[in-house]
Amino acid sequence: MKNRVVVIGLGVISSIGIGKDDFFDALINGKSGISKVESFDVSSFDRKYGGEVKNFNPLDFMTSKETKNMGRASQLAIGSSSLAISDAGISLDELKKYRIAVLFGTTMGEANIIELLDKEWVKKGINYVDKFFVSRATANLLSVNVGLHFKFKGINIVIPTACAAGNYAISYGYDLVRNNEVDFVFAGGSDAFSRIAFIGFNRLYAMSPDICQPFDKNRKGMLLGEGSAVLILSSLELAKKLNFKIYAEVLGYGLSCDAHHMTIPSPTGIADCMRNALKNADIKPEEVDYISAHGTGTLQNDKNEASAIKSVFLDYYKKIPVSSIKSMLGHCMGAASSIEAVSCCLAVYKDIIPPTINYKTPDPECDIDCVPNQAIRKTVNIALNNAYAFGGNNSCVVFKKFKNG
């Protein structure tokens, strides 16, 4: 017998709110987290705005010694994990009696530490670079630092499938719980604002000068964001035994690779991913009540995602609300789909669908219901969470409203 997999804790750190309640309240009220970048000098860039988290204090979640030994992405990961534990309402001592896996997705990893190396090297010379640099910058450190902080000794993996990585972590966590390999999974993603990422997306000419307008005819591109989110997964049996609140059930997932283009998603690959998810979850297209879109606000991405949705859902596509919360957060890279997964769980739990803000002019090539500018109240039994990444890594996770019985 395979376990049913449920979500029993949510933790999120974002530019619009820290903690699931502040985050979701801001989402459904269409609050924008976009502001002028302050973490480094952007005077030489044409683009100067992004979704920075302005009010995150790592000392709220860890010691000053810990903060000195890790980058901002790890700090965000520990913060969102702490919030998820608190939300689940279980003590750390009780939690550690069980088998725990820590799975984090990321795009940039600890890019801030790489930047620190460059700064010390240029200013002081190679012999003055911190000798412990290498132990603070390796690609596995997001999940390692979470494990070290909480003393979790089970499976510990970073999944670097870029902007789809949060969904990949949730998908692998689903498999681990479903197959009874672990009792709890901390599944999520984390990425911090960095010069490296900001320069990269600027050079791709993919960034908007001011606002992100997914699916709008006059959209000008994406905006970079940062943040972290964690979903705590467990079996339904264990959740009931320990009397956890259940936000949603994870029904399944779909993955695909376009093998098409480094930066432009393929409608065929996206469609395959959604079809794989529907098949894995054993649901029909007409059972889907909401799609959380990847929706970056770039010309080609939104067009191709809308095309894929039409090919999968046929005439039913116009009846499905499809919103992009990147319109409020910017693109949080490896954290994006984990943050969007939190949004999906709360949409399913509360029957409220967040909007796509900044929407003004309909695009005939994106004639989906993008929930323009205002949240809607609607029964959400099943939600899909879409995420795509450079290189063509596609992922889709299916969440279902939990009902006893």
Q: Which residues are catalytic?
A: 163, 294, 331
CA 385/CA 394 separation, integer angstroms: 11
CA 192/CA 332 separation, integer angstroms: 8
Beta bridge partners of 186: 102, 232
3-state DSSP of 281-315: HCCCHHHCCEEECCCCCCHHHHHHHHHHHHHHHHH
Beta bridge partners of 397: 253, 385
Distances (CA, A) of 234 to 98, 201, 297, 389: 11, 37, 34, 27
Question: Following CA atoms 329, 333, 338, 341 in sequence, which dihedral angle do they give, to the nearest 10 degrees?
Answer: 50
CA angle (122 as vertex; 116, 128 as ends), nearest 5: 75
Closest CA to 293 of 281, 276, 305: 305
Type of residue at 257: C
Type of residue at 292: S
Contact 69, 136 (CB under 8 A): yes
- Rounded to the nearest angstrom, the gap between the alpha carbon of residue 177 and the centroid of all alpha carbons in its chain is 20
CA 184/CA 103 separation, integer angstroms: 11
Task: Give the gyration radius of the chain's Cα atoms.
Answer: 20
